[in-house]
């Protein structure tokens, strides 16, 4: 097949483990087909949700001055060495093919430095733009109307030659905006790519991993249940990659080290999309905390767990914590699903790149 120059429009500069691995693994999938891959940067758009940069706070100054700085330092070489991201931005559209995704590239309603950028939805001066496993995140159809974005979204997404999303909420929004379009559902690259999961190692102290964004894991009843379970079983509680004030230890890691901590853990408790995926790829027992409301995560996490036939890992009530966490998981069945989805992803991307015929089975 012809070697092509392919641009990926993603969130590759975000200091986030899931964002890094989804960007790298999509790059790797496309590179393995013999193509030259570059990342495209996001063109800032209009501000819909007020983005507030973190400010120094006396109670959190230790975190800002040490933990966050160390984390940024841990990511720096990975951006350049593994993603090939340069210090200066790249806004070129001169590629044989452009792939938008994965991650929440369609989420116009999240507070971000770039705001609502039609570029992320397909408004690019190129005739060969497609998306792969893109997500609207927690944005809803109601948000589309509330912000008055229907016409702009339709115009931008109509430029997409092929459309792939990663969850039912994103599928429903896309079909509402473009009812005649063929919309495909595919798994995130971290589920179908060759994630370098390390071997389990012996550790001095057994531990539970908490994987949630900084200061966000604060349900008092759930914290009480976690602490009680850890004390009864002689486990330490580690927050890995993010800061939580109530754990035994907050640990700064790079994108490889995060996988080692997951593999070596006894259990994982997370409220994030990629925290759930890391748990699955590392074959761990885990619980995924589901929240409703304005800051909820149900749209993407329930869809993910249902796709993996792991709906029982949803944790809504603190009193169900131990049962949810300790129930066995049939990872043979999960891996069968992942293998099928990996094949689907490869065939879809071959359609985007080379025009190969593709119909879902």
CA distance 269 to 229: 12
Does the pTM surpass 0.95? The reply is no
Task: Look at residue 56 in the predicted model and tell me its pLDDT.
Answer: 47
Decide if 5-193+338-354 and 207-329 have a common fold.
Answer: yes
User: pLDDT for 183-195, tens place per residue?
Assistant: 999 999 999 999 9
Coil vs helix vs strand at 47: coil
Coil vs helix vs strand at 111: coil
| Whether residue 342 has pLDDT greater than 60 | yes
Select the CATH number that applies to the domain covering 5-193+338-354 from these four: 3.40.50, 1.10.287, 2.60.40, 3.90.550.
3.40.50
User: pLDDT for 143-162, tens place per residue?
Assistant: 999 999 999 999 999 999 99
Q: Give me the CATH code for the 207-329 domain, please.
A: 3.40.50.2000
Q: Pairing mode, if any, of strands 97-100 and 207-211?
A: unpaired
Instruction: Please list the alpha-helical segments (H only) found in the chain.
Output: 17-31, 61-62, 68-78, 141-146, 150-157, 168-177, 189-192, 220-233, 255-264, 273-281, 298-307, 321-326, 331-354
CA distance 308 to 335: 9
User: pLDDT for 299-317, tens place per residue?
Assistant: 778 889 999 999 999 998 8
The ranges assigned to domains in the chain are 5-193+338-354, 207-329
């Amino acid at each position: 097949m012809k070697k092509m120059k392919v641009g990926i429009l993603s969130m590759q500069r975000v200091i986030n483990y899931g964002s890094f691995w989804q960007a790298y693994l999509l790059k790797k999938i496309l590179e393995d087909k013999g193509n030259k891959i570059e990342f495209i940067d996001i063109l800032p758009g209009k501000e819909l949700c007020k983005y507030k940069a973190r400010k120094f706070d006396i109670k959190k100054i230790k975190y800002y001055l040490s933990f966050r700085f160390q984390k940024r330092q841990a990511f720096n070489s990975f951006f350049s060495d593994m993603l090939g991201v340069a210090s200066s931005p790249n806004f070129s559209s001169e590629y044989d093919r452009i792939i938008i995704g994965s991650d929440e590239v369609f989420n116009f309603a999240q507070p971000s430095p770039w705001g609502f950028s039609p570029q992320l939805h397909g408004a690019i001066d190129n005739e060969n733009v497609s998306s792969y496993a893109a997500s609207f995140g927690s944005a809803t159809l109601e948000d589309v109307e509330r912000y008055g974005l229907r016409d702009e979204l339709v115009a931008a997404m109509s430029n997409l030659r092929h459309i792939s999303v990663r969850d039912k909420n994103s599928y429903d929004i896309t079909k509402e905006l473009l009812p005649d379009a063929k919309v495909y559902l595919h798994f995130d690259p971290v589920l179908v790519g060759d994630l370098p999961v390390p071997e389990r190692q012996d550790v001095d102290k057994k531990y539970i991993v908490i994987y949630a964004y900084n200061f966000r894991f604060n349900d008092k009843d759930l914290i009480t249940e976690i602490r009680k379970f850890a004390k009864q079983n002689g486990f330490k509680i580690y927050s890995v990659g993010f800061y939580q004030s109530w754990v035994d230890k907050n640990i700064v890691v790079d994108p490889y080290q995060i996988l080692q901590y997951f593999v070596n853990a006894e259990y994982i408790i997370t409220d994030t999309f990629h925290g759930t995926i890391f748990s699955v790829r590392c074959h761990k027992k885990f619980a995924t905390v589901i929240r409703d409301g304005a800051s909820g995560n149900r749209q993407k996490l329930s869809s993910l767990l249902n796709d993996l036939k792991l709906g029982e890992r949803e944790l809504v009530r603190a009193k169900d914590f131990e049962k949810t966490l300790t129930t066995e998981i049939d990872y043979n069945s999960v891996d069968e699903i992942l293998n099928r989805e990996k094949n689907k992803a490869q065939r879809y991307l071959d359609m985007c790149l080379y025009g190969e015929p593709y119909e879902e089975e």
